[in-house]
Amino acid sequence: MAAMFRHKGRDLMPSRVIDIVDPVIPLPIDELYPQKMPLKVEIGSGNGRFMVSRAATHPDVNYLAIERMLGRVRKLDRRATHLGLGNIRVLRLEAFYALYYLLPHHGVKTVYVFFPDPWPKRRHNSRRLFSPLFLDALWHCLEVGGCVQVATDHLAYFAQIKNHLSADERFKEIPAMERTTDEQTDFEMLFRGQGLPIGQCAFQSLPVKKEVPLVPMTLPPEMLPRAQVGSVD
């Protein structure tokens, strides 16, 4: 499923970007990576600073970067290709859609959500990622015992995220991970350079007595799969 595209001035190189064949069938994860290993996913990977560093230092884990912005996808893809990282794949898609439909049921060990868009204007708060439906999708894709790692500089949004997760019996709070300087995102380095506080938390997925399956839903056009990377000439 890996695409092929031409880097300007170079021969054809394998792309880490996943071509979506069917937008409502889970990705065949075992076919996308050279080896079957634990799967960890980052939502909103940006230029890939965290993802590329993590994949390079943890070759025993498969990583999936989810990012909507085409320019960022291309840059992340080039960095992973240049470093020869076989354990990283990139998905250009709305994060909620990916979790709801495409990730394997209870097949993800960790989901990283670093500096999600806070949509600070009150009239836009409903667009924030951490909604009740997102928590449903998150729990369904995480392994039992898996976790979500969160960081944001927007402290009001951080408090809201913690409140949502703390109130959900399917999750319990655990210590947040420590990240090296190389693993800090571009946004984080900017915020820390300005002396802004960073809110960090982590929550572990718990078993439930009766699992309620996700129901099919109609999604707005902006959530549907985007065009793939294609040629960059």
Q: What is the pTM of this model?
A: 0.86
- pLDDT given for residue 219 in this prediction: 60
CB distance 205 to 139 below 8 Å: yes
SS3 for 160-219 is: HHHHHHHCCCCEEEECCCCCCHHHCCHHHHHHHHCCCCCEEEEEEECCCCCCCCCCCCCC
pLDDT at 108 over 50: yes
Q: What is the pLDDT of residue 125?
A: 59
Q: Check whether 18 has a pLDDT greater than 90.
A: yes
Average pLDDT over residues 3-31: 69
Helix (H, G, I), strand (E, B) or coil at 40: strand
Confidence band for 233, pLDDT divided at 50, 70 and 90: very low
pLDDT per position as a tens digit, 196-231: 899 999 999 999 988 888 877 766 565 555 555 543
Domain 23-209 = CATH 3.40.50.150: yes
How far apart are the C-alpha atoms of 47 and 185, rounded to whole Å?
A: 8
Choose the weakest-confidence range: 80-89, 122-131, 135-144, 147-156.
122-131
Proportion of the chain above pLDDT 90, given as a percent:
57
> How many alpha carbons lie under 13 Å from residue 153 in its C-beta half-sphere?
15
| Helix runs in 5-131, H state only | 29-32, 49-57, 70-82, 95-97
**Which letter, b or e, does each residue of 153-181 get, where b requires 16 or more Cβ atoms within 10 Å of its Cβ?**
bbeebbebbbebbeebebbeeeeeeebee
Q: Tokens standing for 202?
A: 């982590």
Residue 8 has pLDDT above 50, yes or no: no
What is d(CA 39, CA 51) in angstroms, rounded to the nearest whole number?
12
* Residues annotated catalytic, as ranges: 117
**Per-residue pLDDT reduced to its tens digit, 131-144:** 889 999 999 999 99
Distance CA 43, CA 67 (A): 7
For the segment 19-60, what is each residue's pLDDT rounded down to a tens digit? 887 777 889 999 999 999 999 999 999 889 999 999 999 999
Domains in the chain: boundaries:
23-209
